[in-house]
Amino acid sequence: MIKLVATDIDGTILPPTGEFTCGVRNCIEKMQKMGVKVVIVTGRMYKGALKIAERLNLTTPIVAYNGGYVKDFDGTVLYERYLPEDYTIQIIEWARRNRVHLNLYSEDTLFSEKDNDEIRRYARYQQINYIVEDFSEIPFNKIHKLLAIDYNDADRVTGWVNEMSAKFPDLYIIKSTPYFCEFSTRDATKACAVKCLQKHWGLADDEILTIGDQDNDIELLKAGGIRVGMGNGTEGLKAVADYITDTVQNDGFVAAMEKFVYPGYEMENV
């Protein structure tokens, strides 16, 4: 029986409209009443992910920064990893040389060196505030992640991932949307975070269902006993999934829960 559902947010339970469907809301509410732990696992910063959790009435731990930060609802930090300072400096220098917009996240605060369209669009969708400041003025000892953005050229973002992965093989560099290139450490992945929670709660592999849609969810899926890919997911993600559900627009998350979570609960309570 599934006891933990670890789910991505954007493109999995939240469509591009930014509004949860009644189906998703009711499904999550039902699973909570069943005693299933529903945990959001996201690339978003903790502050932004918390707003999502509150909208869904979730009180489980939140996995933020692609797995680099796990914080329980009571404020206890269960897992935390930072980007090494030397890598942070090199990536910032690369971004400046190549005129790449870069988001920097330090102690759950979002920084940008310029007040441009990229940061305004990003912050508006995430419903979070940001600070414009020269990155050289920010201590580099607590950087959760760096995020390079180009909303106009997805191929350019793919090029960044390929280029920087070759240059920094020790880092976890991934395309989290067609327009985002994320930089973090190898132990700051969604799989690392789910394994942390698995140990925290003493769960078996087959009691965990993982579900997502983008390449940064590939690691998330690998941590599950049941691995579900969204119908709108990337081909790379679908290749590691056990099951492909419907799209986010068609409540694919709900369909997957009806297939894998509800039956086990009903059998347990016959």
Q: What is the pLDDT of residues 47-67, one digit of tens each?
A: 999 999 999 999 999 999 999
Tens digit of each residue's pLDDT (9 = 90 or more) over 87-116: 999 999 999 999 999 999 999 999 999 999
Q: Are residues 193 and 132 in the same domain?
A: no
Q: Are residues 174 and 213 in the same domain?
A: no
Tokens of 103: 């988001």
Between residues 269 and 7, the one the model is more confident about: 7
**Alpha carbon of residue 186 to chain centroid:** 15
Q: What does pTM read for this prediction?
A: 0.93
Between CA 79 and CA 180 the distance in angstroms is 24
Buried b (16+ CB within 10 A) or exposed e, 2-26: bbbbbbbbbbbbbbeeeebbeebbe
Q: Are residues 168 and 210 in the same domain?
A: no
Q: Are residues 69 and 116 in the same domain?
A: no
Between CA 245 and CA 268 the distance in angstroms is 24
Which CATH number is 164's domain given? 3.30.1240.10
Tokens of 251: 């409540």
Q: Which domain holds residue 139?
A: 85-185
Tokens of 93: 């220098």
Q: What is the DSSP letter of 206?
A: G
Give the mean model confidence (pLDDT) for residues 119-130: 95
Query: Which of 185, 202, 230 marks a domain boundary?
Result: 185
What pLDDT shows up at residue 152?
A: 96
Return the closest-CA partner of residue 135 out of 168, 188, 93, 184.
93
Between CA 123 and CA 238 the distance in angstroms is 29
What pLDDT shows up at residue 214?
A: 96
Q: Does residue 219 have a pLDDT over 50?
A: yes
What pLDDT shows up at residue 270?
A: 40
Between CA 85 and CA 92 the distance in angstroms is 11
Tens digit of each residue's pLDDT (9 = 90 or more) over 237-267: 999 999 999 999 999 999 999 999 998 766 5
CA of 72: how far to CAs of 65, 189, 260, in Å? 15, 17, 26
One-letter amino acid identity for 17?
Answer: T
Element holding 184 (H helix, E strand): strand 180-185
What pLDDT shows up at residue 266?
A: 62
Give the mean model confidence (pLDDT) for residues 220-230: 98
Between CA 253 and CA 270 the distance in angstroms is 25
Q: Are residues 218 and 249 in the same domain?
A: yes
Q: Are residues 264 and 219 in the same domain?
A: yes
One-letter amino acid identity for 218?
Answer: I
Tokens of 121: 């669009």
Q: Are residues 114 and 181 in the same domain?
A: yes
Q: Are residues 75 and 149 in the same domain?
A: no
- Give the pairing of strands 37-40 and 4-7: parallel
Q: Are residues 196 and 76 in the same domain?
A: yes
Q: Are residues 142 and 171 in the same domain?
A: yes
Q: Number of structural domains, the chain? A: 2
Which CATH number is 75's domain given? 3.40.50.1000
